[in-house]
Amino acid sequence: MAFLSSVPVAPRQNFTITQSRTCSSTARRRIVRKRRTPPTCTAAAEPKPTPQAAPSPRGSDAQSRDIYASAPYRRDARGFDDYNPKPKRRPLSTSTFQNPLVVFLYERGWRDQFANSGFPGPDAEAVSAREFIGDAATVVLDASCGTGIMTRRLARDYERVVALDFSAAMLAEAARRETATQKFERVRADISAMPFRAGSLDAVVAGAALHCWPSPQDALREIHRVLRPGGAFFATTFQRDAFTPKPLTRLFPQITNSSSAQYRFFWPDELVYLYRVAGFRDVDVTVEKSFITVRCRK
């Protein structure tokens, strides 16, 4: 791996990788036991969107915290603040999600397909994120939120939730799906250039997004910048072999490469390396089938 040897190595910090090739209940129990924070919420069924959302009844501490470093370029009529005045040409991994058909299909079957690679589903993923982040967080960012599938679930538990995505179409759909009990702010920006002050966020969640980012290295550094010291970062992604037929993977591990110029997938040890170089500590990677979860702290 040429890039591993050419980049300076960050000071050694704690990290763990837990690999489970099957989805057996034993493997799941082993992973659950490893977690440090006890579960405090359940995967409740999602309420139907209400057309007219009432004002948020939530507390004011988080609401008044000044997390933005700059004013938005414009307020979009579709319900989000745009911090990205001059979008450049983007790779497929970003532009795909600007397509209205993809936006329409995303919560109507597209996201469900991730289960084939081991994703347990948004309810269970939100519970895992919540277990890791804990109760103390008030300001939580859903980075690359898409249609807000995770944002809405996080908004039930945290005082102030911000949904960020590059796709205006995704954010408009997220706004449409917001409900009275699941309210959140919406921001359009590139993951590598977010409009937040350094150290202003308690936690960041990035569901099924890391492989879509044009520069994961820059994105991780930017997430590290906006998190407060000790802040939690919870991310899920696909393992590098997710879309390669398994017999091929076993016979020719060296040719297994579902990364391209458009999407970038990683092996667990590559992720640990990237996270450490970005400055994160306590990097904990779990793998079930091709579903990867990374938990770490700033």
Ligand X SMILES: C[S@@+](CC[C@H](N)C(=O)[O-])C[C@H]1O[C@@H](n2cnc3c(N)ncnc32)[C@H](O)[C@@H]1O
Query: Does 141 interact with ligand X (rule: CB under 6 A)?
Result: no
**The two three-digit tokens of residue 141, written as one number:** 């960012």
Cα–Cα distance between 76 and 232 in angstroms, integer?
Answer: 30
Among 126, 133, 150, 210, binds ligand X (CB under 6 A): 150
Exposure string for 124-156, b = 16+ CB within 10 A, e = fewer? ebbbbbbbbbeeebbbbbbbbbbbbbbbbbbbb
Which amino acid type is present at position 49?
A: P
Q: How far is the CB of 60 from ligand X (least distance, A)?
A: 28
Among 133, 172, 204, 212, binds ligand X (CB under 6 A): 212
What is the DSSP secondary structure assignment for residue 212, as one 8-state letter? G
Stretch of 19-27, 32-40, 90-98, 220-228 contacting ligand X, by CB under 6 A = 90-98
State the Cα torsion 227-229-230-232 to the nearest 10°: 0
Task: Considering only residues 168 through 207, tell me which ones interact with ligand X, judged by CB under 6 A.
Answer: 170, 190-191, 207
Please work out the total of residues on this chain that contact ligand X, with binding judged by CB under 6 A: 21
Stretch of 18-26, 64-72, 89-97, 237-245 contacting ligand X, by CB under 6 A = 89-97
Which amino acid type is present at position 294?
A: V
Nearer to ligand X, 145 or 201 (CB): 145
Nearer to ligand X, 13 or 68 (CB): 68
Cα–Cα distance between 202 and 244 in angstroms, integer?
Answer: 37
Written in H, E and C, the secondary structure of 63-94 is HHCCCECCCCCEEECCCEEECCCCCCCCCHHH
Q: How far is the CB of 23 from ligand X (least distance, A)?
A: 19
x-or-dash pattern for ligand X, window 11-50, by CB under 6 A?
----------------------------------------
Query: Does 144 interact with ligand X (rule: CB under 6 A)?
Result: yes
Query: Does 294 interact with ligand X (rule: CB under 6 A)?
Result: no
Which residues lie below 8 Å from residue 251, measured CB to CB, with a gap of 6+?
none
Cα–Cα distance between 158 and 153 in angstroms, integer?
Answer: 9
Q: How far is the CB of 217 from ligand X (least distance, A)?
A: 13
Q: Are 238 and 211 in contact (CB under 8 A)?
A: yes
Stretch of 74-82, 160-168, 175-183, 262-270 contacting ligand X, by CB under 6 A = 160-168
Task: Considering only residues 105 through 134, tell me which ones interact with ligand X, judged by CB under 6 A.
Answer: 111
Cα dist. 12→231, 253, 269, 274 in Å? 19, 28, 14, 13
Q: How far is the CB of 9 from ligand X (least distance, A)?
A: 27
What is the DSSP secondary structure assignment for residue 10, as one 8-state letter? P
Query: Does 161 interact with ligand X (rule: CB under 6 A)?
Result: no
Nearer to ligand X, 177 or 281 (CB): 177
Stretch of 45-53, 145-153, 281-289, 290-298 contacting ligand X, by CB under 6 A = 145-153
Which amino acid type is present at position 10?
A: A
Nearer to ligand X, 165 or 185 (CB): 165
Q: How far is the CB of 255 from ligand X (least distance, A)?
A: 26
Query: Does 266 interact with ligand X (rule: CB under 6 A)?
Result: no
Query: Does 226 interact with ligand X (rule: CB under 6 A)?
Result: no
